[in-house]
Structure 1
Amino acid sequence: MSPVGTAEEFFTASGVRLRRRGARPGAFNWLFLPGGPGIGAESLFGLADALDVPGTCWMVDLPGDGSNVSPPGAPASPHDVWPRVLIEAAQALPNCVYLGHSTGGMYLLSVPELESLLVGLVLVSTAPDASWRAPFFEMTQRHPLPEVDAATRRYEAERTDERLRDIAVASAEWNFAPEGVTEGRELLRRMPYNRAAVDWSDRNFDETYVHTWWPRAVPTLIISGSEDRIVQQTRWTQPAFQGPHILHRRVKGAAHFPWIERPQAVAAAMRELVPRMTPRP
């Protein structure tokens, strides 16, 4: 089935939404997959805008994620096709480079069919397995945020997307370095949220996640903020995640959304990846 939509926005057969966010001369199609889960691809607009890579940037929302609530073609239970539906987006355009932020990167690494479809891969503030969760929960105990606890209690009493937003906004001090908290809090306040996506990932993915593939030759960039307190980045130092086709860039002073504190450093890292990739005929 052909994608449905226009040059600016279209949907795949199962309802993955792709929205164009800027284009420069070049053959690559950059697919930006947000973290969360439950937060919309709008969370990556600032990242896409900070880059000067060749090609077109597309913001990707899975069916039933963010504001992509009732897309054409999606099954009645849209999360039933997660995360394998990521394949459809990579098949919809030529020369795709997937960029996954946080949980988005974890979803990418759980779909091995993507390896043959991509000319490049970017992993931002993500992890190869669920071992990041224990250090995260320990951090929240060492650095409690009473506003998060209060927002969580309100959410448990009234499970709405708006209450979910309140939790995210209250957690800004965990997600951003001190200099980025004000901008980060406003970013989180503007975002669409989807509690059904959070519930699905909590039940089916988050605790049991282990990557099911690792690029054997696909040029790959791993971007880690030195101050990331959400997803611990130390696992990437293991030998299994090294190789001549793998770039590791640790962004000093940046946290879980590294482009907020250090947009120029993130853009520079992305530029380093470009000459390693080869468009397909």
Structure 2
Amino acid sequence: MHDSELFTSSGVRLRRRTQRPGALNWLFLPGGPGIGSESLHELADALDVPGTLWMVDLPGDGSNHSAPGASEPPFERWPDVLLEAAQLLPNAVYVGHSTGGMYLLSVPALERHLAGLVLISSAPDASWKPRFIEMTQRHPLPQVEAATKRYEASRSARTLADVTVASAEWNFSPEAVETGRRLLARMPYNADAVDWSDRHFDDVYAARWWPKELPTLLISGSDDRIVWQGLWDRPEFEGANVLRRRIEGGAHFPWVEQPEAVSAAFSDLVALLLH
């Protein structure tokens, strides 16, 4: 292990992506589950924020296999082990994409250990799922159906990757589909993580905390077809500490279509953090 790769006591892995002057530590947690933090490389690289940017993988997720200190099975303490990463580094700002953000909102102890919070294409509860299923029925992708059958017959990283790559048209705008397909094709995947989340988290998820004073940034793509972003319209998610930025033309990975707009949103949060 070296200072560009850290592990918490339970095997959460942090890999340093970028380091600039500044005291903030940005912790990038991928969606999925089962997809590696490599899915957020383009996001991290699009930003101009002070401090150090770390890519975070839970034990047993993405390519973080046989992590030192991980329980057996490694998902046993999900998502509570996310607290360890926030405690490992000072001035931590967690950045959760999609399900990653939902995991963060399931760990109330995080609030007192963070300097800030960013939620991208995420949700406060599981009520986004029926809308997603309806969308897939209105806009069927035969290649997803075929890949899903192969996955169900043989659950593996390879067949999971095939399903995800086949779903690119749901995840990205038409102009960005080819870019998105390449992004999804190069990811490490973990089918066991998908199974764990499906059995224990996805359908029963409801946020267990919401920041009262913590500087918080909500980023929603205007064209996100995966996780319905209208759930954030409720008054309880407003506050002087909450910035909400709607990315016009952005889909579920809004930095792919609109990197400059997403970067500007992060700069707005930095201004709040350093105020």
**TM-score between the two structures when normalised by the length of structure 1:** 0.97
Match of 1:222 in 2: 218
1:278 positional shift: 4.6
Q: Deviations over 1:196-232 (max 9, x none)?
A: 0000000000000000000000000000000000000
Letter aligned with residue 18 of structure 1: L
Any conservation in 2 of the 1:119–1:278 contact (CA below 8 Å)? no
- Looking at structure 2, the residues matched to 278 and 197 of structure 1 have their Cα atoms a distance apart, in angstroms, of 36
- Looking at structure 2, the residues matched to 21 and 78 of structure 1 have their Cα atoms a distance apart, in angstroms, of 24
Letter aligned with residue 129 of structure 1: D
- Looking at structure 1, the residues matched to 63 and 176 of structure 2 have their Cα atoms a distance apart, in angstroms, of 25
Match of 1:202 in 2: 198
Match of 1:248 in 2: 244
Query: Equivalent residues in 2 for 1:1-281 (5 A)?
Result: 5-278=1-274
Look up the SS of the partner of 1:121 in the other structure: strand
- Looking at structure 1, the residues matched to 100 and 40 of structure 2 have their Cα atoms a distance apart, in angstroms, of 11
Q: Deviations over 1:163-197 (max 9, x none)?
A: 00000000000000011100000000000000000
Q: Count residues with an aligned counterpart.
A: 275
Percentage of pairs with the same residue:
67
- Looking at structure 2, the residues matched to 157 and 235 of structure 1 have their Cα atoms a distance apart, in angstroms, of 35
- Looking at structure 2, the residues matched to 86 and 276 of structure 1 have their Cα atoms a distance apart, in angstroms, of 24
Letter aligned with residue 137 of structure 2: Q
1:133 positional shift: 0.1
Any conservation in 2 of the 1:34–1:40 contact (CA below 8 Å)? yes
- Gaps of at least 5 residues in structure 2 are none
- Looking at structure 1, the residues matched to 68 and 234 of structure 2 have their Cα atoms a distance apart, in angstroms, of 42
Any conservation in 2 of the 1:151–1:167 contact (CA below 8 Å)? yes
Structure 1 range deviating more: 270-279 or 213-222: 270-279
Any conservation in 2 of the 1:136–1:231 contact (CA below 8 Å)? yes
- Gaps of at least 5 residues in structure 1 are none
1:130 positional shift: 0.1
- Looking at structure 2, the residues matched to 33 and 10 of structure 1 have their Cα atoms a distance apart, in angstroms, of 15
- Looking at structure 2, the residues matched to 278 and 60 of structure 1 have their Cα atoms a distance apart, in angstroms, of 24
Any conservation in 2 of the 1:40–1:191 contact (CA below 8 Å)? yes
Letter aligned with residue 125 of structure 1: S
**TM-score between the two structures when normalised by the length of structure 2:** 0.99
- Looking at structure 2, the residues matched to 278 and 252 of structure 1 have their Cα atoms a distance apart, in angstroms, of 27
Q: Deviations over 1:4-58 (max 9, x none)?
A: x321001110000000000111010000000000000000001000000000000
- Looking at structure 1, the residues matched to 250 and 273 of structure 2 have their Cα atoms a distance apart, in angstroms, of 26
Look up the SS of the partner of 2:129 in the other structure: helix
RMSD (Å) for aligned C-alpha atoms = 0.8
Q: Deviations over 1:112-146 (max 9, x none)?
A: 00000001000000000000000000000000000
Any conservation in 2 of the 1:217–1:245 contact (CA below 8 Å)? yes
1:101 positional shift: 0.1
Look up the SS of the partner of 2:55 in the other structure: strand
1:276 positional shift: 1.1
Letter aligned with residue 94 of structure 1: P
- Looking at structure 2, the residues matched to 253 and 210 of structure 1 have their Cα atoms a distance apart, in angstroms, of 28
Look up the SS of the partner of 1:79 in the other structure: coil
Look up the SS of the partner of 1:184 in the other structure: helix
Look up the SS of the partner of 1:30 in the other structure: strand
